[in-house]
Amino acid sequence: MIAHYDHYTKREPHYLTDHVEEMLLYLKELTLSKDIEVLAEICIIAHDLGKKSLLFQKYVQDPNGKRGTVKHAVGGAYALSKQSINLSPAEQMISYFAQLIVAAHHTSLSDATGNAEDLFESFPKELEGIEKLTATEVSKAIKKLSEFPIEEFKEKFKLGEEGSSYLATLIRFAMSVMIDADWLSTEAYFSEERAAKRVYKVPSFEFLQQELTNYYTKEDVFPDSTEQLIAIKKALQKEARKAGLKKHSCFTLHAPTGVGKTIAGLEFALAHAIKFEKRRIITALPLMNLTEETSALYKNIFGDNQVIEDHSTAFVEPKGEDTSIRLAVNNWDRPFVVTTTNQLFESLFHNRPMKIRKLHRLYGSVIILDEYHKLPFHVLRPILKQLDILQKYFDVTVVMMSATPVALTESSVVKEFLLNYEPIEITNRKTLFKQIPKRFTYQWLKKKETIESLAKKIAKESTVLTIMNTKKEAQQLFLALKETNHSFEKVYHLSTTMCSEHRRLTLESIREDLEAERVIAVISTSVLEAGVDISFPVVYRMLAPLDAIVQAAGRSNRYGKLGEGRVIIFELEEPIKVELSYAQGIGITRWILEEKGVEGLASVEMFVEYFKQAFSNDVNSLDKYQITSSRWLLFETIAKDFKMIESEQLGVICTTYEQFPEGWLSEKPTKAWWRKMQPYTVSLRSSDHQKFIEEKGVRRLAVPYDKELGVIL
């Protein structure tokens, strides 16, 4: 029986038996737990059995056969269900999960109702009698159930919510293995050249650890830091490497900005990976500009071919050709993955094959959640419960890092989650924060400002960074400052109203000017708030949640070589409305300033108090979509509901940006085309529909693109 046929080359058909055998060989190359392995193997055997139908065999050999006209995906699921009738209840359940996966491998996982009949409501006529044609293969799949750890499964199933979340993760991981194996085998048949480019020799983590050591022992690796700061950085790295040897699965690393938190996280992860035989280090950050910065650092240390950068604006090759690293992005086949928290968690709660494909790479990994204090409150409970399940059943170690000492597990509300693992601190946060030499002082402008009065204050400064809460306020201040009498050599604007390519070029110019000690002003949003290695003598920050204030302060006199920096906090008379959780954070910060003054902003104790208050929401508000209320197995429902970002955002291609390659618009919109468009894309609200045109699923900018502001709001 034929699985695939290349009518273009008319080469030998890709026979179904060969296709399945190739997938099983791929499965054997992976190191997975027995439950994932057996469930994935059953799915692999059954996934394409619908192709044994007479109509499919006729279609696949017809050079004029139209793709999708003969359904096959549900065939294997149906045949499997017919031979599962006499199994034990537990075995029937495992078989049902396999049926669910097989039926979904060309579409998406449906809600698991427990009733197999729901999967076959619209059973294609061309598959009638498929159970007879596939009896031998299905019997082989059924026999595999004897290898499944049934007794352990029964115990997990008794655990209520924990059991449901384990099952949901098991199903997604098994589907991930099957999808990846399926697509790799199919790709190898149709393009031996592409398959050859995927061949990759995995370096040992011992070798990669030595590469890290070689990197930070270079004389010029800390060119802008004082001797005291260098000593603190090296001590933190040593402490992190030592902590990596501890047998535990949940850690926190709290370290002030500018002391090498990213490198320390790597030190921990590599030591832990070597000691406990982990397979991958996955770093997730809340903002795309942070992933770009972190990815660039990782590549500088380990080489471009060891690091995958996976987010919506990640762009590998200017012409979009299939390179080894570009192909590896699809299934995270590298030792280091840098992604966004949005990408990570929306994949973990998704139901579509493209999103799920990479999930099995999480098994046996170290997950670093950098700036974890920015995890959105409205989905905090399902996120923490999912991380807990990954640790307990899927050999994952979690490291939560932040430049602010977040009292996450000290919150009484979070304690109600009943997580299995309490985090261990990698370093003593109180001691470390007190060691840092004073690099700046805080000031609080108690009198509220207008945009115009604020612009006049900024105009009196030398080199200065100002961070606003919203994109519109940043644009308003930029325009006001340009109209004000000032002595800056250049005034810059930086926010996500600019496409990422525009932001990249602007940030390059800002860095060049700072290095040349030119007098400049930068008006920005939070894109310059965290993770960006940049230093200003003066930072103005609009009143914001405490963690945002602290992150912004990390851009002031970052290396301790500018005398004493100043961080000036202000409020506007008429601020633009922000999301509720952000507004609540502003309120708590205002309370700290009123009660303790600016000294309270630098107090570790006040950090703890702030986050206790911030996490004091009731449990239901931390699970807005009620995912943890016995809904873990409702795959389709959860995929629709779960949103890390609540406001609806639409990607719009900035075709009116002067750097946009016009010829690209005439090209066919393939996956490679969409990927190379990402650096020229901005996110707009659906309410901004007058700013873009949508034709054939492609949204492009319909208004002029400003060379300084990007899309004007």
- Rounded CA separation 19/240 (Å): 45
576 shares a domain with 509: yes
Same domain, 508 and 424: no
With a pLDDT cut of 70, the percent of the chain lying above it is 94
Q: Classify residue 319: in a domain, yes or no.
A: no
Are 451 and 424 contained in the same domain?
Answer: no
> At which of 386, 408, 435 does a domain end?
435
Could you say which of 615, 630, 665 is where a domain stops? 615
Q: Are residues 191 and 217 in the same domain?
A: no
What pLDDT is stored for residue 225 in this prediction? 67
Q: Is residue 467 predicted with pLDDT exceeding 70?
A: yes
Distances (CA, A) of 551 to 342, 452, 545, 556, 705: 20, 26, 10, 10, 30
- Averaged over 9-33, what is the pLDDT? 95
Answer yes or no: are the C-beta atoms of 75 and 50 closer than 8 Å: yes
**Are residues 384 and 265 part of one domain?**
yes
Structure tokens of 207?
A: 């070798």
What is the reported pLDDT for 316? 41
Q: Assign 114 a pLDDT band (cuts: 50, 70, 90).
A: confident
212-255 pLDDT, tens digit per residue, is: 999 887 756 666 667 777 888 888 999 999 999 999 999 999 88
Domain boundary among 565, 597, 615: 615
DSSP structure class, residue 200: -
The listed range with the strongest mean pLDDT (533-547, 641-655, 660-674) is 533-547
Whether the predicted pLDDT of 693 surpasses 50: yes
d(CA 119, CA 634): 14
Q: How confident is the model at residue 312 (pLDDT cuts 50, 70, 90)?
A: low
Average pLDDT, the chain: 89
What predicted TM-score, i.e. pTM, was given to this entire model?
A: 0.86
List the CATH number of the domain containing 350.
3.40.50.300
Q: Is 598 contained in some domain? A: yes
Whether the per-residue pLDDT at 605 is higher than 70: the answer is: yes
Q: How far apart are the first and last CA of the chain?
A: 58
Q: So what's the pLDDT on residue 125?
A: 85
Lowest mean pLDDT among 16-30, 303-317, 348-362, 621-635: 303-317
Contact (CB, 8 A) for 55 and 27: no
Compute CA distances 683 → 309, 398, 679, 710, whole Å. Answer: 20, 30, 11, 12
Distance of alpha carbon 420 from alpha carbon 166, whole angstroms: 13
Pick the closest to residue 103 from 84, 124, 86 (CA basis). Answer: 124
- Residues 218, 275, single domain; the answer is yes
Considering the domain architecture, whether residues 391 and 447 belong to the same structural domain is answered as no
* pLDDT value at residue 126: 85
Confidence class for position 436, pLDDT limits 50, 70, 90:
low
* Residue 287 and residue 152 share a domain: no
Q: Where are the alpha helices (DSSP H) in 420-540?
A: 429-435, 451-459, 471-483, 500-515
Residues whose CB is less than 8 angstroms from the CB of residue 283 and which lie 6 or more positions away in sequence, other chains included: 265, 294, 298, 336, 337, 338, 339, 367, 368, 370
Residues 598 and 503 in one domain: yes
In a domain, 357, yes or no: yes
140 and 99 share one domain: yes
Which pLDDT belongs to residue 321? 47
Span 120-132, average pLDDT: 88
Decide: residue 230, CB within 10 A, 0-12 exposed, 13-18 middle, 19+ buried: middle
Is residue 56 one of the residues assigned to a domain?
Answer: yes
Q: What is the mean pLDDT of residues 574-589?
A: 89
pLDDT attached to residue 314: 45
CATH number at residue 156: 1.10.3210
Asked, for residue 711, whether it belongs to a domain, the answer is no
The per-residue pLDDT for 319 is: 41
Residue 643 CB coordination number (10 Å): 17
**What is the pLDDT, as a whole number, of residue 333?**
94
Q: pLDDT band for position 405 (50/70/90)?
A: confident
The answer to whether residue 127 sits within a structural domain is yes
What is the span of the domain harbouring residue 521?
A: 440-615
Domain count, the chain: 4
Query: Is the pLDDT score of 445 beyond 80?
Result: yes
Same domain for 9 and 74, yes or no, is yes
Q: Identify the top-confidence range among 38-47, 327-336, 662-671.
A: 38-47
Using DSSP's 3-state secondary structure scheme, residue 34 falls into helix
Residue 426 lies in a domain: yes
Query: What is the C-alpha separation between 531 and 522, in angstroms, rounded?
Result: 17
Spatial distance between the Cα atoms of 252 and 653, rounded to a whole number of angstroms? 39
> DSSP 3-state assignment of 158?
coil
Q: Answer whether residue 642 is part of any domain.
A: no
CA-CA distances (angstroms) from residue 679 to 329, 528, 694? 16, 18, 19
146 pLDDT higher than 90: yes
Among the ranges given (372-381, 430-439, 535-544, 681-690), the one the predictor scored with the smallest mean pLDDT: 430-439
180 and 236 both lie in a single domain: no
Q: Tell whether the model's pLDDT for residue 57 goes beyond 90.
A: yes
